[in-house]
Structure 1
């Protein structure tokens, strides 16, 4: 009965884990094995032969004479064209004259066809009408969209190109505009030259922010406030917690106000003859310093609170005894406080590593990966690729592949940390209780 009750209580949590963690990860994995983009859509595609498709096939050795015929444009008086002209309100007399006298005739170019129309008894009376009539009789596969393979094959057969089965398959595959299953995203990822730079940026960003601020500076703040009077310590912690509770947009905007060429820093340094500049984006070094500080102060506040709680839980008798033995503050920190913080340091290290790997909010709002791509990290690159890039062709599949790599790296890093900090020993039952 107790086991069933436990399952009932844990069921909502399991459902949330599946819904908000496992399902997104699985969907990311699925998307990463496709070439989905704004060009292909996500619901399937159609078939369209374009000049670029013909050029690509020509480069692959496809018969260029056939490609030239496919790419050619002609005008034919057919029932299909006459019906389209009727629906477009082309003059009835003109349509009937074409049907009765010239049905089946073909013209090699638009110019020849329009010359022909000018000679008819019921010819169009204006250039505008003439230009709007001729497209209804255009016969070309170029840029015409086919909803299915059957429609495309039917149009190819009508052109009597004498295609072999292999050539037909190549044309169909090349003209498909929808998404397909592929592992090309991962191959592309490792071949692109910018991947290495983004990887180095990510490693530098995570390591620097983690060691300098999320752990290092957080420990300094926690230890410092521990030795302060309670009132002062509480006020100090509250002030340092402000970066975490401040909305990201406002927080980054304050940093921009500090570093802009018309910001606070320049307002001060110009009094000493320093030339105004954008201290955030003028150089890659300045951009990195700013990005690390912006994220570091947020991470340090969390570490400070956690480390402070852990330090206050250390039995006071240990500290009193060390003072009796003549230990100074540094010796207390080194031999008593730090050894007791192994578990909190493990938690902060794992949590903040995963957080820094996957978060890009502050970088996006401050430098957006600039100047150039000097502060472009992996998570931001995945976002730019899948959801927001300058060229407009959002690559959902490739962006998902980048995100999936982050998931794998995060799991591997967590396992390494657990091994390094000897997690199994940390959770062992104390010997006194055995």
Structure 2
């Protein structure tokens, strides 16, 4: 290696002794708003970004200094062929995770550096689920798909693997990564900033606002409790979860809050929802604060009944799975809610299948129709009146379909 460096130096000094015309033309250039130094020397192309934007006078002055340094080193025979000597040096605070400051043109490389930089600031659920899904998404792509010049083709490639709705969720993370990379001078432009705009337009869905009628709720609870559609030979009966389904309806709580509920949070007159279990992680509630829900006679009767079947030690779950663990909501919805309600739909007892979460819509809608004012419902459900109107309050389809006559006013 020493001999090789000596040869390089000797060769450079030889070149320096010749006409200065042999020194390449080196100066900063505009690269989509950023700054780039590109030149050819001894038959090889070199590219370097000194950082900053082309419209920033200080950044341009620094880039010209770097270009001048390269010229001087070539003339003196000290040119660094790796360009490491001319890379920007950024001093970081002691508490900042160190990352590779070299220019990165590959989306996967950028994503890995983004995760390192953000790992201490994001929730465990994001890292465990969303990041994992993005990792899988990038793993489906070819190396050329990850290059900046093919960014305009990226969404088209990914739509071959994902639906538009699923892809939109993943691209939010990629766009955040792109913005971070630009702000830290790892890319010259916001290359992957607006990928979601390339997604096909989707029709607006009212699915999230839909709710069951009171009669449909009765059928659903009865179907669970009576094992209407349960295999007689199954060791896991549907009836085990009847209380869980009814509790979701009576309280309107988010399913992840009910899954995490322990007996120490069941007081004399109220239930304290102070934690949630989502995607394999126990965490605080969605809004990071506890909420109280009054125990009505119906809820008290349910809790007393529940206490007969499960341990009521303070730290024990009120609604454990049949194996004694926390319920996996996705698995529960597929194995129980979907199967049971689709059977009810086929028999004409329920109009349509709705996910487990829609029991929250149903509860909020029914309390409002029973005359509880929206401000009170919003406070009890730990949400806002605006969110209720946008996402939870389901219109009365019987009235909309002219099946019920409006009263005179």
TM-score of the superposed pair, with normalisation by structure 2: 0.21
The structure with higher relative contact order (CA 8 Å, sep 6+) is 1
Looking at secondary structure, tell me which structure has more helix per residue.
Answer: 1
Looking at secondary structure, tell me which structure has more strand per residue.
Answer: 2
